[in-house]
Structure 1
């Protein structure tokens, strides 16, 4: 199969392991699992030295601790070849679905996951007509994926001859609806069976943990159920990999519910701000120090001598960073690095005590508001908020211009059919490997690194607390809370508290992004929100970060961060609030605040015409939004009048 270029960031989202996408030649493929990454096109693996001593090796201690891995890796690219002797590494994809049909004679043909090139009909009458790949697959909510069971569907039975594989006929007539598509076996003279109703069914719920599936219930004629076969073709294996009791569901291969990537991210925080052994380990793994340590070990220097030499190297650098660590800490980190002891913060996949997303956000929130040394990877400027308009200066405490930031985005697994897998589903990382590496040092996940810029806005805690404590606000948000609880109960998911301040600041972030695109030179898909919001009495947060999500290794051009100037930003906020007063879908949009709208009614007054963003820009799948909180005169409005 010909090589097809993809950006590294696309291998995190939307084309991470287990995802389906279309190559330039029109062939549908599934991105391969991690066992086959970092191999050349002939399947030969690269050396560990090439990876661990090069730019593909990434450290982000907080995410490593959360995800239970030793490091992350960038997807390989041509720029990583420092000389012609090094192999050209590729990311594997496998042909899927493997069933094809001829549009002339209608005969179906089964290929192999590893088949290369275009397939043609072998019938003499068809004159090597190119075969068409079927557009149907079958999935379960545990994440398994397999070909649509054409043989079982045509025969209405599990009993058929192996020769039937070459006797299936695929016919599509009429308007092309499911009822107009049929399959039959000419060897057994089966009656043509249409696909009508094959995609019917219900998702799992609290009352029915399995849900129902038309494919599972309709495939066999003896009224027995045809359940998932536990296939994982992205691992390069076209057979059952594990027993799975879940219902099997038919799906179109271009369906957007076929793959939900679980992407974790973290903004780099300088070690000087939060000294920990995890940060120290990351510093010692940076290319310059790692190479220096490796050479000193090769000549037989002991730990105290290595510690002294790296202190000297750090002291001579323009920005010394080891001053917050003792010699004992450095020595212990050097001794235990290969073994990754528990004191380094690494955890097992099944450990429930891993740091959560909220703690990672809290670290970043504190760093943005605190005093940090100037770092190449995080450059902050605290701006004077007194230049804001009067109606904003009383509710905005801090504006931070982030001239440079580094975001690490990690692909940590995926789910199918729903953004979150069932509570009893296998651990998402296990689906990425045929064989999970037994050694901790060999556990890694794919990641991308973006150098960008951003604007951080922190709101006054007292103003938010006074607002969210009023009966008008609590009564208004109750509709959204009830809808969220109903959705969670229906799917058997745990419920969460919908905080008024979260809905407020989340919606404001969307309104600002939609306004900023006219000023900063970036499209809305190139901007991303990052929310730092909780009403926790002991440690509340009330900040939003809007930053570039499409930078490269050199960063971005400053079009966004220049708008952090309080005068410019104040004008942008005022304009965004003005635009929020009215939606082109009003009164339908604004009146939806009484019942909810959108998927599962998880939005109030918010629709595509006023508040929604591209999927890559929003952290919550465009849910928990409400523009009415900004409409002047509304009982639950937060922002004071401009008058």
Structure 2
């Protein structure tokens, strides 16, 4: 890969927007698709792995998230140039050109031609010599496959012809059209009738799932191409769908995040793990080459000179085997409940440093709504990438199926996922359960809320939310209003603050809290600006201002009226919430700036259908 074709990308983007299988454009205007994880942490973009001592520098450990996603560890994206033993090691992440079909930029020519996926130079037209640009049309399927637009299939099904890429040449007509109906293709070899692309994007859905497309109606099938890892699934039966290569529905990254918390795990396992990692790379490879645990124990005993008993080694390897092969069956609620409990206690040191503040030390009204306040002085967040969807987020695919789409060859060396670890600080609030439950029963009777519950249940974007409850809607909306207010006092920008919601009505995992945190702190963990906002005398003022802001929007009465009449925003997933009152930057919100309503915080007429109505009535 030459310098002129490279794209400099932040590590955080590589596990979100531009991960394996995603496209981005380099400075030459060439669209490229990022290759799979087989090419991460390799020399010069090949499949030759870096020295294990180098790889260790990029390893990230988070035992809970490892169990949840079924991997042995995580790795941060490699640097393009790594200094090891005073030697520069090149480890760029390779990509290939996609799409391959190009159109001549000369409007009087507009011939079409396919290029090589490894071509780095600009492609020139064979007819007129003009520069050719990549087609904006591609095709994808719900299983995540991607391929060039089936130009010849589309032409042949309309003209009842037998044109083929090896014997025919194509030409595009009307590239300046604003609609697909105005764009046509023809075979200049046979001077065929021009065929329009009209209706090419049409699909049919059932329960929100695409089951038929314009292509499938014409028996144009998906090739099962996983271009980024150079394999094809010839058995793919999903409908092939036309798309624009820069459309937002071409790539939905699947990510998961975790707050690092102290674990009461087997300390001996941790000790063995550290000793294991300190062995020479050749010895580690030899141990891993054995599949049977008994064999691993026998050879490991020699390396560790009897320091660990066979029982201890068996416990270690058995636990490692379970982590390596089986994603945890733990639910998202159960996972977050572990974090929730840690925020209710003091932790003076370690990976999570917290200090609880007595609620009765705040102003009298504060304890009417909140039961706990915690300063989170230091926290560590692991954000991991485990796959992606195309066209629409899926709910039926397993974590294992996502992981397999990231690797060309799945083996013992492919048992990790990309992740980044960031450090920050935060503040945690817990709502009073008794007051919340009483209010919830009243708000649940509102017609607008009932309609929102139905809409949310039909969208795969909110599968982690489960059944939408008034409590969730309240805590989520309040979180947004609080973040908007905090930016005026804590010194961080809006995009630097993020939310993490802890909401569950189940008997075993009852929790109603929220964490506002920042991952923009320094590497020591905290700059302190957000933590100080949780102090007595400051927090009450900020919370009250956030509540008061909910009662009026510069778009009112329209914002309120639209919320009552069926919702606003994408797919009507918000009630009284818009860019002028309750929305945040996309990176700050857990669920895409959706499921928001100022009416849950304070109602328009303060008739006690808003959770904090009594506070404003008292004023």
Q: TM-score, normalised by structure 2?
A: 0.87
CA distance in 2, matches of 1:614, 1:363: 28
Question: Offset of 1:554 from its aligned partner?
Answer: 4.8
SS of the counterpart of 1:138?
A: strand
Q: Deviations over 1:479-500 (max 9, x none)?
A: 3222234557xx9989942121
User: Within 2, Cα distance between the matches of 1:403 and 1:79?
Assistant: 34
Alignment of 1:230-269 (within 5 A): 230-237=224-231, 240-269=232-261
Q: Indicate how the Cα distance of structure 1 residues 282 and 201 shifts in structure 2: closer, same or farther if over 3 A, else same.
A: farther
Q: Kindly tell me: are residues 495 and 245 of structure 1, through their superposed partners in 2, closer, same or farther at Cα, counting changes over 3 Å?
A: farther
Counterpart for residue 92 of structure 1: 94
TM-score (norm 1): 0.84
> For residues 494-528 of structure 1, what are the alpha-carbon distances to aligned partners after superposition, in whole Å with 9 as ceiling and x for unaligned?
99421211111011111112222223333322221
Q: Secondary structure at the match of 2:451?
A: helix
Q: 1:631 aligns with which of 602, 605, 619?
A: 602
Q: Give the deviation of 1:198 after TM superposition.
A: 1.0
Partner of 1:74: 76
Residue in structure 1 matching 2:188, options 186, 189, 209: 186
Answer whether contact 2:477 2:601 (CA < 8 A) is retained. Answer: no
Equivalent pair of 1:476/1:636 in contact (CA under 8 Å) = no
For residues 521-580 of structure 1, give each alpha carbon's deviation from its aligned partner in whole angstroms, at most 9, with x where no partner exists: 333222211111111123311111111134564545333222222322222211111111
Q: How does 1:27-66 map to 2 (within 5 A)?
A: 27-41=30-44, 43-47=46-50, 49-52=52-55, 54-66=56-68
- Give the distance between the partners of 1:452 and 1:234, measured in 2 at CA: 34
In structure 1, the partner of 2:354 is: 380
Question: Is residue 2:451 matched to residue 1:462?
Answer: no
Matched ranges for 1:83-122 at <5 A: 83-85=85-87, 87-104=89-106, 105-122=109-126
1:137 is paired with a residue whose SS is strand
Give the match for residue 215 of structure 1.
215
More deviation, 605-614/492-501: 492-501
Aligned equivalents of 1:424, 1:346: Cα separation in 2: 16
Give CA-to-partner distance per residue, 1:404-433, whole Å, 9 cap, x none: 211111101111111225559982111111
In 1, the alpha carbon distance for the partners of 2:43 and 2:314 equals 34
CA distance in 2, matches of 1:343, 1:600: 44
Are 1:46 and 1:87, in contact at CA under 8 Å, matched by a contact in 2?
no
Matches within 5 A, 1:123-522: 123=127, 125-126=128-129, 129-156=130-157, 159-164=162-167, 167-205=169-207, 210-217=210-217, 224-237=218-231, 240-271=232-263, 275-277=264-266, 281=269, 285=273, 290-291=277-278, 302=304, 305=307, 334-335=313-314, 337=316, 340-342=317-319, 345-346=322-323, 348=325, 354-375=329-350, 377-422=351-396, 427-437=401-411, 439=412, 442-470=414-442, 477-487=449-459, 496-522=466-492
Deviations 1:37-86 (A, max 9, x none): 2222251523452355x221111111111111111111101574233435
Q: Write out per-residue CA displacement over residues 270-290 of structure 1, whole angstroms, 9 at most, x where no aligned residue.
A: 23xxx124x86567656x994
Q: 1:32 to 1:607 in 2, by over 3 A?
A: same
Q: CA-atom RMSD, angstroms?
A: 3.2
Q: Which residue of 1 aligns with 2:289?
A: none
Distance of aligned partners of 1:520 and 1:94 in 2 relative to their CA distance in 1, 3 Å threshold: farther
Residue 508 of structure 2 corresponds to residue 533 of structure 1:
no
Matched residue pairs, number? 591
User: 1:269 is paired with a residue of what secondary structure?
Assistant: coil
Q: Which residue of 1 aligns with 2:583?
A: 612
Give, in angstroms, the shift of residue 197 of structure 1: 1.4
Deviates most, 473-482 or 193-202: 473-482
What pairs with 1:570-581 in structure 2 (closer than 5 Å)?
570-581=540-551
- Shift of residue 144, structure 1, vs aligned partner: 1.0
Task: Compute the displacement of 1:442 (Å).
Answer: 4.0
Distance change (3 Å), C-alpha of 1:172 and 1:106:
same
2: distance between equivalents of 1:87 and 1:528? Answer: 36
Return structure 1 stretches of 4+ with deviation > 6 angstroms: 292-299, 491-495
Residues 18 and 32 in structure 1, CA contact (< 8 A), matched pair in contact too: yes
Tell me, yes or no, if the aligned pair for 1:168 and 1:184 is still in contact at 8 Å.
yes
Counterparts of 2:272 and 2:184, CA distance in 1: 61
Report SS of the residue matched to 1:434.
coil
Q: Give 1:20 shift.
A: 1.5
Structure 2: gaps of 5 or more residues: 285-298
CA distance in 2, matches of 1:137, 1:450: 36
The answer to whether residue 538 in structure 2 is matched with residue 568 in structure 1 is yes
